[in-house]
Every structure is written in structure tokens, then in C-alpha cells.
Amino acid sequence: MQVAEQTLHANGLAHHVVTWTPESPKATLLLAHGFLDLAWSWKPVAERLASEGYRCVAWDWRGHGETEHVGAGGYYHFPDYVLDLAELFPQLVDEGLAGGKTHLLGHSMGGTVSTMFAALRGDALASLTLVEGIGPPPWPFERTAEKFEAWLDGMAKLRAKEERPMADLDAAVSRMRVQNPRLDDDFGRFLAEKSTRPTEGGLVWRFDRRHRTTSPMPFRTELFSEFLRRVPVPVLYVAGEKGFRLPDEDARLALVPTSVKTHEIAGAGHMLHREEPEALCRAWLEFVG
């Protein structure tokens, strides 16, 4: 297996891409990470599936990892990610494998974007796997102004103060464990190295600080439902027993017109691709046959 990093340009931004290529690849699997995560988070999954003959490709979304941030005055919205993927896609796939059909797997935010992409460009896909990635909880429409106000306040606070650096990698791992308490020591340190950059006084995260603010645009289930209704390929939905579950999870999945297989991983939290990569890989391999 060969592991390679490269920079690919899409939608005006330089994207950091990592590829795991087995000796004799039989198909390509694209791996889309979630909010405040990065491509290297897929390392255990990619290594395992590459050993089964799958060429695995992961990238850092805009404003994450080593991919460029948007410029001054810019922000981050779901349509931006969809366009990024649409322009990245032909550069990531290998048309010579599996008749040009590509598998797509997304976690959390990456799953939401992958669903939207699949609804629009599904003819290029062989399957779609969503790892707790069928959209965030809905926001009441009548509270839209509150969300805009929170965004304005958040951006003002962000610009009023400098980012406080973390002392070292151990401090970074401790912060990561707030949302991912089962993170392994060695892998946690690896991710901390990839997720941070040195600065005066210690380390800071590579992701854009603007991601820490509340988005002004409320998530509308009705809007996302139209994308779910247009997914043309088989879907696997994987969730952790202790993960981030939605009360309308079944209702959302029921909108998909193709076959939907669901799988729950016992004991796993939301970051199950880090916590239970082997279980996730087994579920995926069974799904694709």
C-alpha cells in the first residue's frame, strides 16, 4: 500500500488530499470527514479497507486541516462544500476502476454534504454510506433572527481577541477528548500533530476560527428532505449506540427511494470512525459485498 499527499485545486481553494492505494485496487472509496475534523482522521479506516483492495481518498474540507481558509469577509455554508466536492470529484476518482463508479462515505457534516452531492451527481456513484450524517437537528424557522444575531455576536467576539495557544500536544489531545473521550492515546497524539500548527507560545488548531461561531443559516429539514428523496444509489447508515442520534432519524432515512441498510455499533459514540474503525469497516464491507 502506498500513502500519498497532494494538493488539488477546486472552487478557488487549494485542498489537501490523502490517498491510500493498494497494490491492486478494485474500486475507489471517497471519505468525507465531519465538522472540525480532518482527512487524517480516516487513517485506521483507510488502512483497513486498502488491505481489502479499495483505493481510499480523503481530503480536508475548506477551512479544515491543511486546506485553505476562505478569504477575509468570507464564511462557510453547505452549498460551498457541495461545490467543492463537485469540482474535486473528477480529480479524486479513477475512471479505470469498477467502471468508473465510486463509493462515497461521509461522517456527520461530511455525510450531509455527501447526501446533497449524491442527490445531484449520483450517476457517478456506486453507493453512499452515512456515518451519523443525515443532517443536524432542525432549527425553528420563527427563531431565524436569533441565529443571525448569535452569528453577529460571535464574529464580533472572535475578532476582538487573539486565539489562546495550547501549551503542547498533550493539551491538544485533552481538548479533543472533550468530544471524543474514547480517543486512543497514540492515535490522539497523531491527530493532534496533524490538527495543529506551531505559534508563539505553543500550538493552535489549523481549522479556521470562524468555524467556532454559530452559522447564521438555520438548517431546514424540509429542504434537506428533497435531497434525501433524490439519492439514486444504495445507502448504508451507521450510527453509534451512544452517538449523536436524531429523534426523526428513521423518518429521514425513509425518504430515500433506494434500499437503505442501517447498522448500530455497540458502545460507540459520535466519532465512531476513530473509536471503532474495525466495526465500521466490517459493516461497510458487508454492505458492498
- Residue 100's pLDDT is 78
- C-beta separation of 143 from 218 below 8 A: yes
- Alpha-carbon distance of 194 to 58, in angstroms, equals 14
- Residue 87's pLDDT is 98
- Residue 240's pLDDT is 97
**Rg value, the chain, Cα:** 19
- Alpha-carbon distance of 208 to 65, in angstroms, equals 9
Q: Which residues contact 222 (CB under 8 A, 6 or more apart)?
A: none
Reduced to 3 states (helix: H, G, I; strand: E, B; else coil), residue 245 is coil
- Residue 126's pLDDT is 97
Does the predicted TM-score (pTM) go above 0.85?
yes
- pLDDT tens track of the chain, all 289 residues? 999 999 999 999 999 999 999 999 999 999 999 999 999 999 999 999 999 999 999 999 999 999 999 999 999 999 999 999 999 999 999 888 877 789 999 999 999 999 999 999 999 999 999 999 999 888 898 999 999 999 999 999 999 988 999 999 999 999 999 999 999 999 999 999 999 999 999 999 999 999 999 999 989 999 999 999 999 999 999 999 999 999 999 999 999 999 999 999 999 999 999 999 999 999 999 999 8
- Residue 95's pLDDT is 82
- Residue 275's pLDDT is 95
Which domains does the chain carry? 2-139+220-288 (3.40.50.1820)
- Alpha-carbon distance of 107 to 130, in angstroms, equals 6
5: how many CB neighbours lie within 10 A of its CB? 11
Positive/negative CA dihedral, 202, 196, 267, 243: positive
